[in-house]
Amino acid sequence: MSTAVELPAPVRVSPLIKFGRWSLLTVGILYGMSRHRSLAKKEAALREVEAKKQAELAPKLAAEKARLSKQELDDLARAAGVTVTN
């Protein structure tokens, strides 16, 4: 019991509309490429700055971590009743 449905003929799209669509698509792609390129340059510069900051902070963080570790070990030794010598 299938009935064949007749669809109307497709509407012919104006060449002006086709040109406009393709033009806007092309412009959008080119804009996206240029925007991506500019944002990538900014992000690369930010990564360099962050890497420099990280390199400057690494020794400070390592020293602080060592100090806290020693302090924690001293506290544990005192809690266990072991005498601590510096």
- Whole-angstrom distance, CA of residue 2 vs CA of residue 20: 41
Rg, C-alpha atoms of the chain:
34
Neighbours of 63 (CB within 10 A): 10
Query: What is the structure's pLDDT at 84?
Result: 66
pTM, entire model: 0.54
Query: What is the structure's pLDDT at 83?
Result: 78
Q: How far is CA 60 from the centre of its chain?
A: 27
Query: What is the structure's pLDDT at 56?
Result: 93
pLDDT in tens, 38-70: 999 999 999 999 999 999 999 999 999 999 999
Mean pLDDT, the chain, integer: 92
